[in-house]
Amino acid sequence: MNRRLTSSSLFKSCIAVSMLMVFLPGCNRKKDVESDVNYEKIVLPVKAAVSVRGEISQTLNFSGNIDAVKRASIAPLAPGRIKQIFVKEGDYVKEGQLLAKMDDYGLQQALANLNQVQEDYQRIKTLYERGSATAQQFGQIKAAYEASKAGYENLKNSVELRAPYAGTIIGRHFNEGEIYNGAPGVDGVAAVVGLAQLGVMKIEVMAPEQEFVLLRTGLSVEIRTDALPDTVFEGKITTVNPALNRMSRSARVTIEIRNPGNRLKPGMFARVKIATSSKKDVVVVPASAVVNRDGEQIVFTVENKAAPFQTKPQIVKVQTGIVNDESAEIISGLQEGAVVLTDNNISLLEKTDIEVTSIENSGKE
């Protein structure tokens, strides 16, 4: 009995030792695999700029359509057939130049009527001077003559359409032979031709009441267009409507722009920037450097040395003054010459590993 138990115990012990010998090398291999894993350190690339002393402006941005300050729609006073048009779009015309001529059938009738009334007027006038006609008769014929003469002159001006001032033809809205009756033509304009002076242009924008109070005549304006993206045009506010629209709570503001070379055209879309106030000799950083976090304004600073280099940023609380689309004035918390991060900084932490790829000067308006 004891011999059987001893043999059985010895057999079980051998099996246990064998299993342990199989298991232990596996554990050692797992530890070896885990020790071979290398985790790569993540470094966030960022750009930076140096805070500088400079000038900054508070700006308001609007958009609108460009038009000529002086523009006219040339049309006859009375309906009629268009007999001939002497100009084409793009032509430069002088003051008084004949632009178009209407059918003169009505004018000929008016002339015949004027000649008849004039003869009657001369005859009654002679009789009146001799005492053979009453003052009432003379007054009546005189009034009829003057009315016929005025009617003829009006029709004459209606037949011959002339330029009221020198300028450029910007539209030819009807064709020869068509009837002009005061209704818009094919392009929606109720005129035979359009005339404009392109040397001075304007933009009318609608300013909401909270911005309207900051605007005044004489303020300088920067104008940019999609058609000429590399050119900045300069203008000035010439009028600010003193009354706001009751529905939109906004007021019309007119900006005039000198247009050398006539590069700006009526109908172009433009974006305008109006500087309402400015400060000089203040600490300025790019607007993207300032981050609003937990109700506070902060910037991330790094040491000032040659880029690229790796480091960890530091959080600095700041107070800003004027802030526009490009720059921000720093009132307190940062000195001139500090290097601040300008991108990838919204969710940044002080313990984040970063690589500063470039450092630029700031302070551009």
Which residue, 345, 343, 292, 288, is CA-closest to 314? 345
Per-residue pLDDT, 158: 79
In the numeric block, the tokens 């007054």 are attached to: 139
Per-residue pLDDT, 18: 53
- Give 157's contacts (C-beta < 8 A, 6+ positions apart): 77
Mapped onto helix, strand or coil, the DSSP state of residue 287 is helix
pLDDT in tens, 340-362: 999 999 999 998 999 999 999 76
**Spatial contact of 313 and 302, defined as CB atoms under 8 Å apart:** yes
The Cα 330–Cα 289 span in angstroms is 11
340, exposed or middle or buried, with CB in 10 Å at 0-12, 13-18, 19+? buried
Domains belonging to the chain, first-starting first, are 46-56+280-361 (2.40.420.20), 61-67+199-278 (2.40.30.170), 76-180 (1.10.287.470)
CA distances from 358 to 53, 100, 119, 157, 290 (A): 20, 65, 93, 70, 18
The Cα 275–Cα 220 span in angstroms is 7
Per-residue pLDDT, 133: 87
pLDDT in tens, 94-133: 999 999 999 887 778 888 899 999 999 999 999 888 888 8
Which residue, 213, 154, 172, is CA-closest to 84? 172
- Mean residue pLDDT of the chain comes to 87
Per-residue pLDDT, 236: 97
Sheet containing 160-162: give its strands across. Answer: 160-162, 98-102, 80-85, 179-180
Per-residue pLDDT of the chain (365 residues; tens, 9 = 90+): 444 444 455 445 545 545 545 444 555 554 454 455 566 678 999 999 999 999 999 999 999 999 999 999 999 887 889 999 999 999 999 999 999 999 887 778 888 899 999 999 999 999 888 888 899 998 999 999 999 998 888 777 778 899 999 999 999 999 999 999 888 866 678 899 999 999 999 999 999 999 999 999 999 999 999 999 999 999 999 999 999 999 999 999 999 999 989 999 999 999 999 999 899 999 999 999 999 999 999 999 999 999 999 999 999 999 999 999 899 999 999 999 999 999 999 999 998 999 999 999 764 44
In the numeric block, the tokens 């940062």 are attached to: 334
- Give 98's contacts (C-beta < 8 A, 6+ positions apart): 86, 160, 161, 162
**Spatial contact of 252 and 208, defined as CB atoms under 8 Å apart:** no
Per-residue pLDDT, 363: 47
The Cα 336–Cα 51 span in angstroms is 5
Which residue, 157, 226, 168, 174, is CA-closest to 198? 168
The Cα 356–Cα 311 span in angstroms is 8
pTM of this prediction? 0.65
92 sits in which H/E element: strand 92-93
User: Distance between the two ends of the chain, CA-based, in angstroms?
Assistant: 103
CA angle 88, 229, 220 (to 5 degrees): 95
